[in-house]
Amino acid sequence: MIWEPIDDLVKSVKTGRTSAVELVNRSLKAIADNQEYQAIISVLKDNAMARAKLVDQAVANGEDPGVLAGIPFIAKDNFLVYGSDTTAASNILKGFVPPYQASAINRLEAAGAICVAKANLDAFAHGASTENSDFFVTKNPHDKSRVPGGSSGGSAAAVALGLAPFALGTDTGGSIRQPASFCGVFGLKPTYGLVSRSGVVAMGSSLDCIGPLTRSAKDAAIVLDVMSGRDELDSTTIDKNAAGYSGVKALNLKGVRIGLVKEYMGEGVNEEVKAAIKRAVEDLAKRGAIISDVSLPSLPLALACYYIITPAEVSSNLSRYDGVRYGYRDKQAADLFESYTKSRGHGFGKEAKRRIMIGTYVLSSGYYDAYYKKAQTVRTKLINEFAAAFSSVDYLVGPVAPTTAFKIGENAQNPLAMYLSDVMTVAANLAGIPSLSLPLAKDKQNLPIGMQLMAAQKKDYELLSLAMAVEETIK
């Protein structure tokens, strides 16, 4: 099922041509009809219907129900949402009912949007395929034998299947953009701090970003406009664009300087992926864009840097799941120490344990300087190289991932191969810059290929404007 653009749906609700209740029912039916893809962990039917009735009542009373009036959406299950468990797809949080709600959810609901379900993910967002969920594996909407990407695979699959007009994801090293590419939808990772992380289960606190998965750049801009801006509950948040984002228009490409990242077009990248990117860049040049090759020499180090910093932050963030305060507690434990070890041992999956061990190792007194400190030095070098690149070009482009969606189980026993799925996306998180994936083409197997666009920090409006121009170019 394909949903109409968000602004069209809102107009229909506000003018009474349709109702919020009808939209929610449409979404719930789509969820029920597509259970075989296993994109959804839980459905919030009662809460969603109650909120839909409030929106419809506001319309009937002549009140403004908000810029997202009646729009159903799906949240990745690491967002705290009232009326639903928040599990982060991990057994250690199974049955956890949050005492408060994520700031992003609060802002969306205040604008009239309605959360209808929680989407599957790699447990604690640790993964690139949604195979690390402790509950089940989500299937790619274009081929059920393949992964949808990760860790926001459930959210990306939900949008591709038409379960809702938009979904929320988190992106720590590509977890919005890579599944967007694999599922053929639009995925936005904003500038770090543009959207509050309050009420979202933390993975890597200096890298995590909240963003939307949608059908188009315009829909993403509308959702971003509602969620973005400072939040007193998250000290890392920044001011939004003074004009907002919902009014963004397609960029006039004449004279726009676009850099094709050399390191993303080399060995190991699928030939069909490279060809699709090259064709798109040529089309942009025909519309007046000035294309050049850009090299960021430290990019080959980005993945190693990311997989030192991220596990270090993961090991710290996951220390709160101790079997004492909340979450799973092993009832057979004889004492506090045994409760701690058994609760964590049984509650965490393999990937969480792997990242805890790596993170603890690189932060240990004997290896902190050798690994963690050096990784942070490389991170600073990457930030400087991106800043230098954006002094000579306005935007950077390249593939989102080296390949299209791979088979379920293909990389499950090879963590290093799985980590390589993020090789083209982690640098944007390390540098804190906005980046997005838009559906570009399909390969010979009819699998989607995404194109990655990047801009300098706080240039989210401009990036969305470029995305709209690219969408017009490749229609």
Whether the CB-CB separation of 123 and 90 falls below 8 Å is answered with yes
**Residues 182, 421: Cα–Cα separation, whole Å:** 11
Q: In this structure, what are the phi and psi dihedrals at residue 392, rounded to the nearest 5 degrees? A: -110, -20
Question: Which positions are catalytic?
Answer: 76, 151, 175
Helix (H) or strand (E) holding 259: strand 257-261
**Tokens, residue 330:** 């092993």
